[in-house]
Structure 1
Amino acid sequence: MDFNASLRKAVKTGTVFLGRNRTRECIEEGKARLVVVAENSPESVKNMVSGIDIPVYVYEGSSVQLGKACGRPYVVSALAVVEPGESDILNAVRV
């Protein structure tokens, strides 16, 4: 599975919220089905996702690279996938 392709498809066809504040809101409201954090995310973001009952995927790249993977020209330290759309991104965390 190509995670970047799955992520881009989820952003285009599903419901994905970008940024730490929107991600936190989705977690608190119980809407997030998957949380993705950049490898170089600040400690505040890493602390926000530690111990939650939602699958967390650590993106092997910087927040700049995560933003590019989402098709956005800005940094993205965290994102929440609410609905994957036509993407198979939820399989990224299946064991």
Structure 2
Amino acid sequence: MACRSDPSGTVLRCLPRAFGTLFRDWARKIRADRPEELVLQPTDRRLDQVTLPVTIHSFGGGRPGPDPSGLDGEPLPRSEKKLRNLLKKEGFWMC
């Protein structure tokens, strides 16, 4: 088995080889047959940024919830929270 899950089905850990193989396969598929949203956008420098969330999602992973302070289940450091709150206050937060 390439991945371990908890009883609720949430993926806890995947073997690097399984993740790498799936990442490569998704990257090739995205590059060869771009989704409609990416047809006019160059992906040569950003293909990894497009592929990574797709790969994580395919293993059942993702953000822990709607609160952006808990990326990957880890709280943001105080300095990053302060910056995030300033961006929100000034209307620049994009969530």
* TM-score, length basis structure 2: 0.23
Which structure has more helix as a fraction of its residues? 2
Which structure has more strand as a fraction of its residues? 1
* TM-score, length basis structure 1: 0.23
Structure ranking higher on relative contact order (CA contacts 8 Å, 6+ apart): 1
Highest CA radius of gyration, 1 or 2?
2
